[in-house]
């Protein structure tokens, strides 16, 4: 069985989540919980091999770039996979009872399942590119989950911005790793850790990885987004805090420990940020009255504790980081689910409004006590063992004189505060007299998901030695050193035991004097709050965006052209400053006929500068395009000639549809406007001329061009190099361009779809700006009579020609784009005969959708042979006639449909402005 099978099951679960929710309502959480358990069981089949080394699987995606779905499960990956799937199964079962009948079950279950799959991909990724993709998927899913109620859009946006910024940092780190080592394989990167560590990029990579981890794991100063995320419903909060989103940063730091564990800057940063976050998070947790907010700040503190342990960079530190990660997942999942139960039953999470719940909810109180005592580090629970091991690791750290004392003091301070807020949680909700009537213990089906991790914390605390193999394997994977874990509940009297005694005594003292502590904490505030700094920065960025985008909102074309022309001039200046001497012209690249083309271009452009008639200007623009097409013909670019000519034809058609709604004569610009236009046009023209002069006819064919001409026909099965480049070698680029065409068409449909036809007003503007009556329907149909006759004959011929060009494009001039332009010209002709032509009423939306689906579907077919958009070929012989068939032709069909859809949309929507949609052939 392959490691890919569990991912296939997770994908199937995500697909089935919504229909299950439609059928079963909230009870769909139970089969989805079973799916999580099934996936966990499938992964545990590989556990012996993972603990002994690793289990690998691979599904190739882009072989030329060595990009593939590469999975690798070792001890570290197994640890996090168990938490992701185990806690996920419990959360799904919990959600089945927590959710109300009127809530959006399907959306939540789908997002939780996709979120779990993304986290699983993150911790099992064997390639840094895949790890980054999974990292960003978790960011997007968390945003959708946090804002799922509709009340937390601001908080969800804050979480998205902070974690997405960390994602950008991770992306830059991945790029630097690739540039340095030439690979993104995680195993290779770790094997060559010494090379990476000694490179000039090493400090930058370390900083970027730290930023990514700190933003994901909500460490100071990025901690503020996590408590704000408590607007999410309790199942989401439980999953995010216990096993998924915030643990992504922990995993990343542990994964990069083999590279930087011995680097002073890395160690110092992790120890400082980790312990500062542990203390500040604990202080802020102790200030809270809302139970969910208390748990949120406690997560900041607990993650800081784990990060400080990672910062030790030794066997003891990494071993206890893994152990405390496991313990934290158990007690935090329990506490969040129980707080949700309290909120559901009592109607509040505020400890000032809760009292005496143990009298009516004894099971809930007992489970809360088990989890809170584990968080406080009280024996015999697992949290006590992990805290003792942490004290031992801090006390034995000897990188500098006295550093162990400093670290131990900070750790004791954080743990003491943790003890205090843990007891605050228990006492505040369950002690005292019962003040709320009509409360009762929830059903066992509601309690069971919280009971499992609570009891597990007790059982594993006593039998913690069963975790030794997993912790040892984690140490090997994070440090490359043999671990020798000797986990036990009691190791005898030692310094860590004394530190635990101090912690418990201090925690009890803080709890007993809780009124004075509350009064002090509410007088104490940090001088700068991360949320305030974020809000100021966010508002500043929005203001900057408004200012920089102001020209784009202007009605003047000059304002829109100023920026690209400015960029062109800056690029030209930079080229002049760094350029080498211009090489000589290659003999034979110039011809006498070029002079004629240049003269035609010059005259046409000069005419554009002086004419006032819009139609004349449009005609001169067409002359410029035709001259360029002639130039392409001179140098033998037949495909380019056809494309240029067809684009010019369609441009004229679309432009006329717009121009006829404007005055026939352009206003004479003022002297100031002409001076401003000249200030932009002259430098841009000089720069364009200089670039053309320096780059045309002075370069030999590039290695890539030589390869395509020499090897292209053999590799692609086509002799038309232009087409094979578009659909075979650079198919992904072409797919992107097709997507842009579809987006442009959708924008046209949205922008002009609800516009009221100006003809409804019954007036238009004539050539001198006066208002005249528009022609009647009868007059318009009379003018269109010649086109009605011609379109009946020419329309089918044009369509047949376009299909012929589509078929032959792989070997001769043609292809999907050119064929679609020919078909578009036929649509343009048919649009002038609206009453009789069926071609003018082609449905645009189905054309666009089917075209894009065909393109993507063809790409997915290529996965059969190893990669997305990889062309598949076969030869067919019939009656002595041989024909090569390729999926590239199907891809070209998709391009054809996208372009036709855009043309139909443009002509239909713009044409609809002069009459009813039915008359103008608007797409329906």
Query: DSSP readout, 463-512?
Result: TGGGGHHHHHHHHHHHHSS-------S---S-HHHHHHHHHHHHHHHHHH
pLDDT band at 137 (very low <50, low <70, confident <90, very high): very high
pLDDT band at 150 (very low <50, low <70, confident <90, very high): low
pLDDT at 797: 84
pLDDT at 266: 94
Are 301 and 320 in contact, with CB atoms under 8 Å apart?
no
Q: Which of 627, 645, 667 is the last residue of a domain?
A: 667
Which of 16-20, 362-366, 517-521 bottoms out in mean pLDDT, i.e. has the lowest?
A: 517-521
**Are 648 and 744 part of one and the same domain?**
no
Answer yes or no: is 809 within a domain.
Answer: yes
Phi, psi at 637, each rounded to 5°: -90, 80
**Are 414 and 504 part of one and the same domain?**
yes
Are 626 and 648 in contact, with CB atoms under 8 Å apart?
yes
Pairing of strands 763-765, 873-878: unpaired
pLDDT at 772 > cutoff 80: no
Where helices occur in 753-815 by DSSP H, the ranges are: 777-783, 785-808
pTM listed for this prediction: 0.74
pLDDT at 879: 61
pLDDT at 322 > cutoff 90: yes
User: Hey, what's the torsion of the CAs at 398, 401, 404, 409, to 10 degrees?
Assistant: -170
Answer yes or no: is 120 within a domain.
Answer: yes
Bridge partner list, 771: 765
User: Hey, what's the torsion of the CAs at 781, 785, 789, 792, to 10 degrees?
Assistant: -20
User: Which of 140-154, 673-687, 843-857 has maximum average pLDDT?
Assistant: 843-857
- Structure tokens, 405: 């004392």
Which residue, 292, 392, 385, 284, is CA-closest to 332?
292
Query: How much is the average pLDDT of 312-339?
Result: 94
- Structure tokens, 582: 């211009």
CA angle 602, 603, 605 (to 5 degrees): 65
- If one counts every other C-beta atom within 10 angstroms of the C-beta of residue 45, the result is 14
At 68, which helix (H) or strand (E)?
A: strand 67-73
In 686-789, DSSP assigns E strands to 763-765, 771-773
d(CA 263, CA 204): 13
Structural domain that includes position 365: 4-531
Which of 86-100, 755-769, 831-845 bottoms out in mean pLDDT, i.e. has the lowest?
A: 755-769
**Are 221 and 353 part of one and the same domain?**
yes
Which is more confident, 543 or 917?
A: 543
d(CA 729, CA 891): 13
d(CA 42, CA 47): 9
User: Which of 86-100, 220-234, 490-504, 845-859 has maximum average pLDDT?
Assistant: 86-100
d(CA 342, CA 339): 5
d(CA 858, CA 856): 5
**Are 731 and 640 part of one and the same domain?**
no
What is the full DSSP assignment across 501-525? Answer: HHHHHHHHHHHHTHHHHHHHHHH--
Which residue, 346, 345, 338, 220, is CA-closest to 283?
220
Task: Give 671-699 pLDDT, tens digit per residue.
Answer: 787 888 888 888 888 888 888 888 787 77
In the block, which residue shows the tokens 């290779």? 188
Query: How much is the average pLDDT of 267-285?
Result: 95
Which is more confident, 885 or 49?
A: 49
DSSP-based three-state secondary structure for 529: coil
Answer yes or no: is 695 within a domain.
Answer: no
d(CA 564, CA 547): 17
Which of 684-693, 846-855, 877-886 bottoms out in mean pLDDT, i.e. has the lowest?
A: 877-886
**Are 48 and 173 part of one and the same domain?**
yes
Which residue, 373, 382, 391, is CA-closest to 467?
382
**Are 640 and 724 part of one and the same domain?**
no
pLDDT at 148: 74
d(CA 772, CA 767): 10
Answer yes or no: is 700 within a domain.
Answer: no
**Are 468 and 616 part of one and the same domain?**
no
Task: Give 115-125 pLDDT, tens digit per residue.
Answer: 999 999 999 99
Assign residue 5 a region (left: φ > 0; alpha: ψ between -120 and 50; beta: otherwise): alpha
Query: How much is the average pLDDT of 768-793?
Result: 56
- Structure tokens, 495: 């310094």
Domain count, the chain: 3
d(CA 687, CA 479): 56
Answer yes or no: is 566 within a domain.
Answer: no
Q: What share of the chain is helix, strand, coil (3-state, %, to 5)?
A: 75, 5, 20
**Are 111 and 218 part of one and the same domain?**
yes
Q: Which of 499, 514, 531 is the last residue of a domain?
A: 531
Please state whether the peptide bond connecting residue 221 to the residue before it is cis, i.e. omega within 30 degrees of 0: yes
pLDDT at 774 > cutoff 50: no
**Are 823 and 724 part of one and the same domain?**
yes
pLDDT at 784: 59
- Structure tokens, 492: 């005898």
Which of 458-472, 495-509, 815-829 bottoms out in mean pLDDT, i.e. has the lowest?
A: 815-829
Which residue, 28, 131, 44, is CA-closest to 86?
44
d(CA 231, CA 159): 12
- pLDDT, the chain, mean: 85
In the block, which residue shows the tokens 């769909």? 28
Which of 569-578, 796-805, 911-920 bottoms out in mean pLDDT, i.e. has the lowest?
A: 911-920
- Structure tokens, 361: 């909810």
Give the CA distances from residue 502 to residues 169, 281, 305, 498, in Å, rounded to whole numbers and listed in that order.
40, 20, 18, 6
Task: Give 387-446 pLDDT, tens digit per residue.
Answer: 999 999 999 998 888 899 999 999 999 999 999 999 999 998 888 888 777 788 899 999
Residues whose CB falls within 8 Å of the CB of residue 524, separated by 6 or more in sequence, listed in order: none
pLDDT band at 787 (very low <50, low <70, confident <90, very high): low
pLDDT at 677: 82
Query: How much is the average pLDDT of 839-845?
Result: 69
Q: Which of 531, 566, 600 is the last residue of a domain?
A: 531
Answer yes or no: is 802 within a domain.
Answer: yes
d(CA 221, CA 530): 6
**Are 45 and 119 part of one and the same domain?**
yes
pLDDT at 782: 55
d(CA 57, CA 195): 26
Task: Give 816-826 pLDDT, tens digit per residue.
Answer: 888 888 888 88
Burial (CB count <10 Å: 0-12, 13-18, 19+), residue 540: exposed
- If one counts every other C-beta atom within 10 angstroms of the C-beta of residue 49, the result is 14
Answer yes or no: is 106 within a domain.
Answer: yes
- Structure tokens, 681: 């046009």
pLDDT at 581: 77
- Structure tokens, 606: 């000069």
Which residue, 200, 214, 126, is CA-closest to 170?
214
DSSP-based three-state secondary structure for 290: strand
pLDDT at 775: 52
Query: How much is the average pLDDT of 491-497?
Result: 85
Which of 491-505, 665-679, 905-919 bottoms out in mean pLDDT, i.e. has the lowest?
A: 905-919
pLDDT at 830: 73
**Are 725 and 638 part of one and the same domain?**
no
pLDDT at 82: 95
Pairing of strands 873-878, 55-62: unpaired
HSE (CB half, 13 Å, CA atoms) of 637?
12
pLDDT band at 878 (very low <50, low <70, confident <90, very high): low
Phi, psi at 460, each rounded to 5°: -75, -25
Query: How much is the average pLDDT of 637-662?
Result: 82
pLDDT at 528: 64
pLDDT at 342: 92
**Are 281 and 390 part of one and the same domain?**
yes
DSSP state of 149: G
Task: Give 163-211 pLDDT, tens digit per residue.
Answer: 999 999 999 999 999 999 988 889 999 999 999 999 999 999 999 999 9
Answer yes or no: is 25 within a domain.
Answer: yes
pLDDT at 491: 80
DSSP state of 132: H
């Amino acid at each position: 069985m392959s490691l890919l099978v569990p991912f296939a099951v997770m994908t199937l679960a995500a697909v089935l989540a919504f229909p299950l929710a439609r059928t079963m309502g909230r009870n769909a959480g139970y089969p989805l919980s079973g799916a999580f358990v099934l996936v966990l069981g499938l992964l545990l089949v590989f556990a012996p091999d993972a603990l002994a080394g690793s289990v690998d699987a691979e599904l190739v995606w882009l072989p030329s770039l060595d990009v593939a779905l590469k999975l690798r499960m070792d001890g570290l990956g197994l640890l996090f996979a168990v938490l992701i799937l185990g806690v996920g199964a419990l959360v799904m079962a919990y959600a089945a009872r927590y959710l109300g009948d009127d809530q959006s079950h399907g959306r939540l279950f789908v997002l939780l399942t996709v979120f779990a799959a993304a986290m699983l991909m993150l911790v099992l990724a064997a390639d840094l590119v895949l790890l980054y993709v999974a990292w960003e998927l978790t960011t997007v899913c968390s945003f959708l989950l946090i804002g799922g109620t509709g009340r937390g859009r601001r908080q969800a946006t804050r979480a998205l911005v902070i974690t997405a910024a960390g994602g950008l940092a991770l992306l830059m780190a991945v790029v630097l790793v690739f540039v340095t080592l030439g690979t993104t394989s995680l195993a290779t990167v770790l094997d060559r850790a010494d090379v990476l560590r000694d490179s000039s990029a090493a400090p930058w990579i370390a900083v970027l990885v730290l930023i990514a981890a700190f933003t994901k794991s909500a460490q100071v100063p990025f901690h503020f987004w996590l408590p704000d995320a408590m607007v999410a419903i309790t199942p989401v909060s439980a999953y995010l805090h216990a096993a998924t989103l915030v643990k992504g940063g922990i995993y990343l730091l542990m994964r990069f420990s083999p590279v930087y564990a011995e680097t002073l800057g890395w160690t110092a940063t992790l120890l400082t940020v980790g312990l500062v976050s542990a203390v500040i998070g604990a202080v802020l947790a102790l200030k809270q009255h809302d139970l969910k907010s208390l748990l949120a700040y406690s997560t900041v503190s607990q993650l800081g504790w784990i990060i400080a342990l990672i910062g030790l960079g030794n066997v003891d530190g990494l071993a206890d980081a893994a152990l405390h990660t496991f313990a934290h997942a158990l007690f935090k999942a329990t506490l969040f689910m129980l707080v949700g139960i309290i909120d559901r039953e009592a109607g509040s999470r505020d400890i000032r409004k809760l009292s005496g719940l143990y009298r009516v909810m004894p099971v809930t109180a007992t489970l809360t006590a088990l989890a809170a005592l584990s968080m406080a580090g009280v024996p015999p629970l697992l949290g006590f063992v992990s805290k003792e091991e942490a004290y031992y690791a801090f006390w034995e750290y000897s990188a500098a004189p006295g550093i162990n004392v400093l670290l131990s003091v900070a750790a004791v301070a954080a743990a003491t505060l943790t003890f205090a807020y843990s007891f605050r949680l228990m006492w505040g909700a369950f002690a005292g007299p019962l003040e709320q009537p009509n409360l009762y213990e929830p059903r066992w089906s509601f309690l069971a998901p919280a009971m499992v991790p609570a009891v597990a914390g007790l059982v594993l605390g006593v039998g913690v030695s069963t975790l030794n193999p997993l912790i040892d394997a984690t140490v090997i994977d994070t440090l490359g050193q043999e671990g020798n874990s000797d986990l036990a509940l009691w190791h005898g009297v030692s310094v860590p035991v004394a530190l635990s005694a101090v912690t418990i005594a201090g925690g009890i003292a803080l709890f007993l004097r809780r009124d004075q502590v509350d009064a002090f904490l509410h007088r104490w505030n940090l001088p700068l709050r991360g949320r305030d700094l974020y809000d100021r920065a966010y508002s500043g960025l929005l203001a900057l965006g408004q200012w920089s985008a102001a020209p784009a909102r202007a009605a003047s074309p000059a304002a829109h052209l100023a920026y690209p022309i400015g960029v062109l001039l800056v690029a030209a200046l930079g080229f002049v400053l760094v350029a080498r001497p211009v090489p000589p012209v290659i003999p034979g690249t110039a011809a006498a006929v070029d002079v004629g083309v240049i003269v035609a271009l010059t005259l046409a452009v000069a005419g554009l500068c002086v004419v006032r008639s819009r139609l004349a200007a449009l005609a001169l623009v067409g002359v410029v395009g035709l001259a360029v097409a002639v130039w392409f013909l001179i140098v033998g670019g037949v495909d380019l000639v056809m494309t240029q000519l067809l684009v010019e034809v369609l441009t004229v058609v679309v432009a006329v549809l717009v121009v006829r709604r404007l005055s026939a004569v352009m206003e004479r610009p003022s002297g100031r406007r002409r001076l401003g236009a000249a200030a932009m046009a002259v430098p841009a023209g000089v720069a364009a001329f200089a670039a053309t002069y320096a780059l045309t006819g002075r370069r030999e064919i590039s290695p890539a061009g030589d390869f395509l001409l020499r090897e292209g026909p053999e590799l692609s099965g086509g002799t038309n190099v232009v087409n094979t480049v578009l659909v075979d070698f650079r198919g992904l680029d072409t797919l992107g361009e097709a997507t842009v065409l579809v987006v442009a068409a959708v924008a046209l449909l949205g922008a002009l779809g609800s516009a009221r036809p100006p003809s409804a007003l019954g007036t238009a503007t004539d050539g001198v700006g006066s208002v005249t009556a528009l022609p009647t329907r009868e007059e318009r149909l009379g003018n269109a009579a010649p086109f009605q006759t011609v379109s009946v004959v020419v329309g089918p011929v044009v369509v047949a020609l376009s299909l012929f060009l589509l078929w032959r494009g792989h070997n001769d001039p043609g292809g999907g784009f050119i064929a679609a332009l020919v078909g578009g010209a036929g649509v343009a002709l048919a649009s002038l005969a609206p009453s009789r032509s069926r071609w003018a009423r082609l449905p645009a939306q189905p054309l666009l959708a089917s075209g894009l689906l065909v393109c993507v579907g063809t790409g997915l077919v290529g996965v059969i042979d190893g990669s997305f958009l990889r062309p598949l070929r076969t030869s067919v012989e019939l009656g002595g006639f041989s024909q090569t068939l390729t999926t590239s032709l199907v891809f070209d069909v998709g391009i054809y449909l996208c372009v036709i859809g855009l043309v139909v949309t443009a002509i239909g929507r713009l044409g609809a402005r002069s009459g009813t949609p039915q008359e103008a052939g608007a797409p329906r």
